[in-house]
Amino acid sequence: MRQVIAAFFALGLLGGAIAQDETVTPEGFAVSNAYGALYHEFGHLFVDQFQLPLLGNEEYAADAIATLLIVRFGGDAAYDISFDTVDGYLRSADIYGAEKLDEVDFNSEHGMDQQRAAQMTCLLVGANPADFTDLANQMGMEAERQEACAGEFDQARSGWERLVADHVRGTGPEGAPLTITYEDAGSYEPMARLLRDNNVLETVASVITTEFRLVAPATMRAALCGEENAFYDPADRSVTLCYEYVQLYFDMVADPANAGLDTSG
């Protein structure tokens, strides 16, 4: 079982120190986090296209939707994608996170990476204790909290299923098309090749179009962005995964000392 070492900062904020594991490869880690990012951005697309009602932060909703999609449609790779996404949040916290409470941006629409890791872990252990109790234990999640996670997962799943009931395709007609494009990757071509060789965009597109009816045509692209990011643009209904983002997560395992630095030349 993979290992996560959880450290705690002031006021119980979860830190992101990670134990290296020989089963984690740069390629696998980058691919897993690409899946996690894409499903998160499709959470935003669903909120937009299906006009889903929200009573809170959309970023939190997108995180929950991504976890539900991974658990439901991740197949044999669901465990690796889930674990590596949690691991990615904690490694990101090491690179970009603030260790001092007065440096934390509480006004950001995104939760802190440590919070996102903990919340995803809770949904995962609620969905499948057999696979994810060990991860929750490594995160320092108390047994009482883990027991409550089953209810949180059931609540998230049932709410999601009710909200998208009218948009689930099943054996019904296809929805609007989802187009895939791999744009020029320049010096990040190895990351583009990694995505293509693993059919990452194609696999996500298959899940989206097989399981759901999109209301309007949409695009999913891999592109150079000038930043390490993934995002949804409602103006043209596009989900973009940046090659720089894939490189970041590749480097978190391959070259952690330089992860987050521009070493592309």
CB 217 within 8 A of CB 237: yes
Least confident segment among 15-29, 166-180, 191-205? 15-29
Say yes or no to pLDDT of 97 above 80.
Answer: no
Give 186-236 pLDDT, tens digit per residue.
Answer: 999 999 999 999 999 999 999 999 999 999 999 999 999 999 999 999 999
Distance CA 182, CA 191 (A): 11
Q: Mean pLDDT of all residues in the chain?
A: 87
pLDDT at 95: 82
Say yes or no to pLDDT of 104 above 80.
Answer: no
C-alpha triplet 203, 161, 163: angle, nearest 5°: 105
> Who's near 222: CB < 8 A, 6+ residues apart?
181, 182, 183, 185, 192, 195, 201, 240, 241, 242, 243, 246
Distance CA 199, CA 202 (A): 5
Say yes or no to pLDDT of 126 above 70.
Answer: yes
20 alpha carbon, distance to own chain's centre: 20
- Locate 56 and state its tokens: 């809170």
Burial code (b: 16+ CB inside 10 Å, e: under 16) for 150-183 equals eebbeebbeebeebbeebeeeeeeebeebeeebe
